[in-house]
Amino acid sequence: MAGLADIAQAAGVSVSTVSRVLNRKAGIKEETRQRVLEVLNQMPHTARGTGALRRTGVIGLLVPELSNPIFPAFAEALESRASLAGYSSLLCNTRAAMTEKEYVRMLVARGVEGMIFVSPEIANPDNDERRTRGYYEELRAEGVRMVFVNGSAPSLDVPDITVDEHLAGYAAARHLLELGHRRIGFVSGPARALPSRMKRAGWAAALEEAGVEPRADLVAHAPFGAEGGAQAMGELLDGPRPTAVLCSSDVMALGAMREAKRRGSATPEDLSVVGFDDIPLAAYCQPALTTLAQPIHDMAAAAVDELTRQLDPDEPVRASTDFSRMFRPHLIVRESTRSL
């Protein structure tokens, strides 16, 4: 597809002028704007360029998977908020039949006005961050309006709505410490994943504050998911056997509890377990799961409101750092934790 330089050369203008047209900036003669738009309509770049300018009333919602209930929950909350704002939504599962980049091309070709990425590819620990960052920078330069949800990337000028993962790890560990536990393990997602690193830092801070050493042999990393939770729990039970664990997600916690039960350790009688997310199943599994809840509806509202603000031509342009917000998770105590 043609880049900005190709379009600028064909239109007889500078690259910055093309960028200003794509971003609907003022101060460009109407004759020049129309010439740039005409070129956009003639070149392979057309869909992306005019998609950033056309009012279609449609936004794209991109989530990494649908098997983990937290992502359908985010999608539903985002779609509901967008509908209230007068927008229809196209939902894309970016780790299924098509990749995130392929879905983005499809969404732009369909003329969506903007996109909300939940846990975007830049947050995927398996990706080359520099190459992925360049991809998002290109989208920004081409006028695509974007908001990230739980995809913090300080090097990118993209508004980010996040939950405080550090506080989640801290609050989970504090809850277990207050119940008298001292040998507290961490059933963690991949070591390179930012949420894993932040939760581990919060876990360690709470333990150190209580005078307990955050031992490395009480941390086990595995892929996100129930199987990963079971795998990490197995590693911990093969080692110093914690009396309690916090988990990177509720789904990992479910896998961890099942593995503990398979090995003869009952929850919470022998092992207290804390999850993260508060998926619907958390309140109905046996035992009901103590967890740190993400304020999904508040986060979705903030994400959609920021995207629609970007799409309003009367709103002033502002840096993403002027808006990015961090929400506090809150502890929900159920049946999977008990005092020693």
Omega cis (within 30) before 287: yes
| Residue 53 confidence (pLDDT) | 45
Q: What are phi and psi of 18, to 5 degrees?
A: -60, -45
- What's the pLDDT band for 66 if we cut at 50, 70, 90? very high
| Residue 6 confidence (pLDDT) | 76
- Given a cut of 70, whether residue 225 has pLDDT beyond it is yes
Nearest alpha carbon to residue 194 among 122, 132, 136 = 122
- What's the pLDDT band for 24 if we cut at 50, 70, 90? low
Going from N- to C-terminal start, the domains of the chain cover 4-51, 58-162+296-326, 165-294
- Please check whether residue 189 is in contact with residue 195, taking contact to mean a CB–CB distance below 8 angstroms: yes
The two domains 58-162+296-326 and 165-294 share their CATH topology (first three levels equal) = yes
- Given a cut of 60, whether residue 45 has pLDDT beyond it is no
- What's the pLDDT band for 139 if we cut at 50, 70, 90? confident
Q: Is 186 helix (H, G, I), strand (E, B) or coil?
A: strand
- Given a cut of 80, whether residue 129 has pLDDT beyond it is no
| Residue 238 confidence (pLDDT) | 96
- What's the pLDDT band for 1 if we cut at 50, 70, 90? low
Nearest alpha carbon to residue 141 among 316, 60, 22, 310 = 22
* Helix ranges, the chain (H): 4-11, 15-22, 30-42, 46-51, 70-84, 100-109, 129-141, 165-178, 194-209, 226-237, 250-262, 296-311
Least confident of 120-129, 148-157, 188-197, 327-336: 120-129
| Residue 156 confidence (pLDDT) | 79
- Given a cut of 50, whether residue 215 has pLDDT beyond it is yes
| Residue 130 confidence (pLDDT) | 62
Q: Is 53 helix (H, G, I), strand (E, B) or coil?
A: coil
Asked: is 4-51 a CATH 1.10.260 domain? The reply is yes
Amino acid letter, residue 202: G
Q: Which residues pair with 293 in a beta bridge?
A: 277, 330
Average pLDDT, the chain: 88
The rounded distance, in Å, linking the Cα atoms of 50 and 292 is 42
> Three-class SS string for 287-323?
CCCEEEECCHHHHHHHHHHHHHHHHCCCCCCCCHHHC
| Residue 49 confidence (pLDDT) | 45
The rounded distance, in Å, linking the Cα atoms of 334 and 311 is 42
- What's the pLDDT band for 23 if we cut at 50, 70, 90? low
- What's the pLDDT band for 155 if we cut at 50, 70, 90? confident
| Residue 100 confidence (pLDDT) | 87
The rounded distance, in Å, linking the Cα atoms of 324 and 153 is 11
| Residue 131 confidence (pLDDT) | 62
Write out the two tokens for 271: 């092992």
More confidently predicted of 183 and 46: 183
Asked: is 165-294 a CATH 3.40.50.2300 domain? The reply is yes
Mean pLDDT of 52-73: 85
The rounded distance, in Å, linking the Cα atoms of 36 and 279 is 48
Q: Which fold has domain 58-162+296-326?
A: Rossmann fold (3.40.50)
Least confident of 112-121, 138-147, 176-185, 301-310: 138-147
- Given a cut of 70, whether residue 91 has pLDDT beyond it is yes
Mean pLDDT of 290-315: 93
| Residue 177 confidence (pLDDT) | 98
| Residue 47 confidence (pLDDT) | 41
The rounded distance, in Å, linking the Cα atoms of 206 and 160 is 26
| Residue 41 confidence (pLDDT) | 62
More confidently predicted of 50 and 84: 84
| Residue 134 confidence (pLDDT) | 75
Mean pLDDT of 238-255: 97
- Please check whether residue 329 is in contact with residue 276, taking contact to mean a CB–CB distance below 8 angstroms: yes
| Residue 117 confidence (pLDDT) | 96
- What's the pLDDT band for 144 if we cut at 50, 70, 90? confident
